[in-house]
Structure 1
Amino acid sequence: MSEANQSVAKKLFISVEGPIGVGKTTLTKILSKHLNAFSLREIVEENPYLKNFYENIEEYAFQTEMFFLCNRIKQLEDVEEHKLAKGVSVVADYNIIKNLIFAGLTLNLNQFQKYKQVYSILVESLPQPDIIIYLHGHTDLLMKRIELRDRPFERNMSRQYIQNLSNEYEHYFAPCSLKHYFTTKIPKLIPVNVDNKDFINNPKDLEYILQEINRVVEGTAPLREVK
């Protein structure tokens, strides 16, 4: 066990975030094992609108986004009651703010304004993470990973959509945006560029992430700027 593992002893709530194909679920599995934490994974393929959404975004955007919002809220309410409230650390492969990111790309202005009103009411009392690990990388790498995992509903995903999504993530996870969108509790941000950090195959890169988590726990990590 590494030094990073040994010193992370208190309850933590960590969100792993980033655009499609960046490795959120993989890192969540790895961290939950190393930190002896509960692994919370978002519901994706169970969304009944998803296949139609990627074939006709304009037609199915609102139904798709509302399904994701309601299911993630229920997941977070459950994990707060059954895990966090009982002192169990949690690593999630999403943060609820991703709903705003995706909805902002897919909904028209009128729909998005209504969606934000519902979002603000429903997420107000949800638990917020202590740490967000923000994974980001070049669009070509993300497209290659999406192609390799070959999920049926992702096969028609355009490069422009992934580029736009990455741009939105950069906006939302900039320090000034964190202060705006996380008004009750600003999480510490750990940005990880997957173009040059291979936490799957390189133990040193994984150790870097664990050490950054440690710095937050020890109170020595400032709010980070995204590089």
Structure 2
Amino acid sequence: MDLRNKYGIPHDAVITIAGTVGVGKSTMTKELAKALGFKTSFEKVETNPYLDSFYQDFKRWSFHLQIYFLAERFKEQKRIFEYGGGFIQDRSIYEDTGIFARMHYEKGNMSQVDYETYKGLFDAMVMTPYFPHPDLLIYLEGSLDEVLRRIKERGRPMEQQTPVSYWEEMHQRYENWINTFNSCPVLRLDINEYDLFENESSVERIVERISTVLKQTKMLKK
């Protein structure tokens, strides 16, 4: 079934998936792209030249890491729109400043001068009328207990070794961030209300909700 045409999703729409670790961003990205006939955009972690150094010395490399992420996500966003849209994007450029850079600064891993420099670059590059913001940001949310259960279930070694206190903090930081986010329209999805693996109709219900938000947004802009 052609869900894009059935629900009137624009062929050039750009939809970004956001949420903390364990909520299923990659799965949602793949399934929505398949349902809509869109392309996918994933974070290229394996080519990041600062990641290993960062994990060895947070204070030395947090600024470099965040600048690298900012530049790469900016280039990717520009590429998506130059291509003509029709993309589902795993993780947004907004999470970098609203959650991760801020966390590094507040924990003392980034100096005030570096943080202000980073924020200045972010605002100049992203928070302008010229930056191509997504048509929709889908925020995947769930209880902390459910997120921890999913992290444990998928069994990635680095995640298993991470203290629960870190996941608690990230969960709260994401909630604080999304409650004030206004750079583009937001659709909040509870991860317990659908199952993309076991229930094929789940993706259609999600597409229907996407359609509703996009149509409402279009009406508001008139």
Per the normalisation by structure 2, the TM-score is: 0.82
**1:152–1:3 CA distance, 2 compared to 1 (3 A):** closer
**1:81–1:165 CA distance, 2 compared to 1 (3 A):** same
**1:57–1:155 CA distance, 2 compared to 1 (3 A):** farther
2-side partners of 1:191 and 1:80: how far apart? 24
Output the aligned Cα RMSD. Answer: 2.6
Is the aligned partner of 1:8 residue 2:8?
yes
- Measure how far apart 1:29 and its partner are: 0.6
**1:129–1:104 CA distance, 2 compared to 1 (3 A):** same
Is the aligned partner of 1:118 residue 2:116?
no
The residue aligned with 1:203 is 200
2-side partners of 1:222 and 1:203: how far apart? 30
Residue by residue, what CA displacement relative to the aligned partner does 1:73-123 show, whole Å, maximum 9, x if unpaired?
111111111233xxxx11101111011111111234603222111111122
Please list every run of 5 or more consecutive structure 2 residues that lacks an aligned counterpart in the other structure.
none
Quick check: 188-197 or 129-138, which moved more?
188-197
Correspondence list, 1:39-188, <5 A? 39-84=40-85, 89-100=86-97, 101-107=99-105, 108=108, 110=112, 111-123=114-126, 124=128, 125-151=130-156, 153-174=158-179, 177-179=180-182, 182=183, 187-188=184-185
**1:91–1:147 CA distance, 2 compared to 1 (3 A):** same
Which secondary structure state, in structure 1, belongs to the residue aligned with residue 17 of structure 2? strand
Residue by residue, what CA displacement relative to the aligned partner does 1:117-172 show, whole Å, maximum 9, x if unpaired?
11111223331111111001233433343344455554543222222222122122
- Measure how far apart 1:199 and its partner are: 2.9
Contact 1:200 1:206 in 2 (8 A): no
Which secondary structure state, in structure 2, belongs to the residue aligned with residue 121 of structure 1? helix
- Measure how far apart 1:221 and its partner are: 9.6
**1:83–1:103 CA distance, 2 compared to 1 (3 A):** same
Quick check: 117-126 or 194-203, which moved more?
194-203
Percentage of pairs with the same residue = 29
Q: Give the number of aligned pairs.
A: 211
